Amino acid sequence: MIAIAAETPLQDDVRAMIGELNAVMMPLTPREFQFQMTAEQIAESATTLFVARDGEGNALGMGALKVHDGELGEVKRMYTRPVARGKGIGWQLLQQVEALARDKGLKELKLETGEAPGFEEAWKVYERSGYTVCGAFLDYPDSGWSRFYMKKLG
């Protein structure tokens, strides 16, 4: 059984997942085109982090909602540990992010992910959840190293 709840990123096991995500991204995208958030940045009031845990309390994945204004939210720091992949955890985390965005009255979610080989599974999760490719947003550069998605919330 998987439980997903909003949690602080300032926990050792969550910090470890953030480190794992950063390590996975390092060889796939040049550093200047990686838009990481530290645990401290995730802990700021505009961002809510969801953590997926197994029945023994082990952290298996995470995903965050960062609210930019009254209409736009951004999906951040989506990651599922390799041992838990293929079990729908990424999809479940994304559903929690979307539910919170709707509760907050946001009209649209956007996200940035890598455009290089190695990101295909992430693309599948987003596309199966109704996200469509869009152009760069906020202050993200249109570098060719990023793929951008958006979803209107009803």
Q: How far apart are CA 41 and CA 3, in angstroms?
A: 24
- Provide the pLDDT for residue 154: 81
For residue 26, CA distances in Å to 2, 29, 102, 117 come to 29, 6, 33, 13
- Provide the pLDDT for residue 33: 85
CATH number, position 29: 3.40.630.30
Tokens (6 digits) for 96: 């929690």
- Supply the range of the domain harboring residue 68: 3-152
Centre a 10 Å sphere on the Cβ of residue 33 and count the other Cβ atoms it contains: 18
72, 81 in Cβ contact below 8 A? no
Pairing of strands 146-152, 3-7: unpaired
Tokens (6 digits) for 120: 């295909």
Average pLDDT for consecutive 10-residue bins of the chain (154 residues)? 97 97 86 90 98 97 96 97 95 98 98 93 96 97 95 94
- Provide the pLDDT for residue 28: 82
For residue 100, CA distances in Å to 44, 66, 75 come to 16, 10, 11
Q: How far apart are CA 6 and CA 100, in angstroms?
A: 10
35 CB-side CA count, 13 A: 19
Tokens (6 digits) for 132: 């469509």
Of 76, 80, 58, residue with least CA distance to 68:
76
117, 88 in Cβ contact below 8 A? no
Dihedral sign computed on CA atoms, order 123, 130, 148, 60: negative
- Provide the pLDDT for residue 120: 94
Number of domains the chain is built from:
1
